[in-house]
A = this chain, B = another copy of it.
């Protein structure tokens, strides 16, 4: 970290994001962010969740980001930045104090650019990266070592394609994207027709996947996540969508803007997810259905039909000790008969 910060310096630097009220020592030196629990005197922490009030009371942080209302719980001698949205403000403070190291512009001698690839001088192309013919990169794009940018791919300005990620031919990525290592964008969708014309020797015939993938601006795609190309039209990822690791998105899905999806989620082909949805980890969404905007799906839940009404939906078998599970699962296998026995008892009364 080259630059040294003070509390008032942070407030000044972020004035355009949100003007914060400063309590306590304006000249307090701030070295780094930290949690309330682990912070020391040159750290700034945040307090947003009332659950952690005891941590606020005991913190040794130099300063805390919190709301006006929470200010009354601030221990004596601790400085503060007072804002309406502490966690959001904290996100900007982390970025301010940790600007990251942008690799320098230039093309590594061990990178390979095929004829007709358009790479502005402001781009960074790492060792062993491969840029196919006709690919077009925006300004300041970073292609890290061993990443593969297929023929005719377009990547918008300021995007980062990490080591070993693969963009299949023709995919379009917007601006300011982050595509983490091992992500695969644009592999063939899973489409086959069963050939039953030879009795007893049925086999699958591949349907060539002639659509592409279109990804909006400000999208982050986690490590080893896969997004298939469309069968006919494109698979579409809206602006601001955030995808965690190891997510699978089938062909022709449409993911609405600013939807956030946690790790290990699977979304089958042609599902349409609304904007501003939140899908919990390892949830599974079947194909050819629609999810209303601003719907929340709990982790591990299987969505088998369209959701018309936004809200929070869940489908999880509750965890038990194995011994209790053995008994309850056994009863569950007869749930329908239990219901019938209840009805029979009711009729007898």
Q: Which of A45-87 contact B (CB under 8 A)?
A: 85, 87
Kindly list chain B residues whose C-beta atoms are within 8 Å of the C-beta of A187.
Answer: 162, 180-181, 222-223, 245
- The listed residue (B90, B91, B263, B268) touching A281 by CB distance below 8 A is B268
For the complex, give the distance between the alpha carbons of A133 and B220 in Å: 26
**B146 x A128 contact (CB < 8 A):** yes
Given the known inter-chain contacts A210-B98, A263-B250, A264-B248, please indicate yes or no for A85 contacting B322, CB distance below 8 A. no
**A268 x B262 contact (CB < 8 A):** yes
- The listed residue (B324, B336, B341) touching A328 by CB distance below 8 A is B336
A: number of interface residues (CB 8 Å) = 128
For the complex, give the distance between the alpha carbons of A218 and B210 in Å: 20
Kindly list chain B residues whose C-beta atoms are within 8 Å of the C-beta of A348.
Answer: 349
For the complex, give the distance between the alpha carbons of A177 and B227 in Å: 21
For the complex, give the distance between the alpha carbons of A121 and B333 in Å: 61
Segment at the interface with B among A22-30, A135-143, A300-308: A300-308
Kindly list chain B residues whose C-beta atoms are within 8 Å of the C-beta of A324.
Answer: 333, 336
Closest B residue to A307 by CB, please name it.
Answer: B319
- The listed residue (B163, B202, B349) touching A258 by CB distance below 8 A is B202
Chain A binding surface SS class: loop
Instruction: Render A317-329 as a binary contact track against B, CB cut-off 8 A, 1 for contact.
Output: 1111111111111
- The listed residue (B148, B168, B245) touching A226 by CB distance below 8 A is B245
Q: Which of A197-239 contact B (CB under 8 A)?
A: 197, 202-208, 210, 218, 220, 222-224, 226, 228, 232-233
In the assembled complex, 29 residue pairs joining A and B whose CB atoms fall closer than 8 Å, in A order, are A33-B232, A38-B232, A91-B206, A91-B207, A94-B208, A95-B206, A98-B208, A145-B148, A146-B164, A148-B181, A181-B184, A204-B240, A222-B226, A244-B248, A281-B286, A282-B284, A286-B299, A313-B325, A314-B322, A314-B326, A315-B319, A315-B325, A316-B329, A317-B329, A324-B336, A330-B336, A332-B335, A334-B339, A342-B342
Question: A residues bordering B, Cβ < 8 Å?
Answer: 18, 32-35, 38, 85, 87-88, 90-92, 94-95, 98, 100, 108, 110, 112, 114, 126-128, 130, 132, 144-146, 148, 150, 162-164, 166, 168, 178, 180-182, 184, 187-188, 190, 192-197, 202-208, 210, 218, 220, 222-224, 226, 228, 232-233, 240, 242, 244-246, 248, 250, 258, 260, 262-264, 266, 268, 276, 281-282, 284, 286, 296, 298-305, 311-336, 338-339, 341-342, 345-346, 348-349
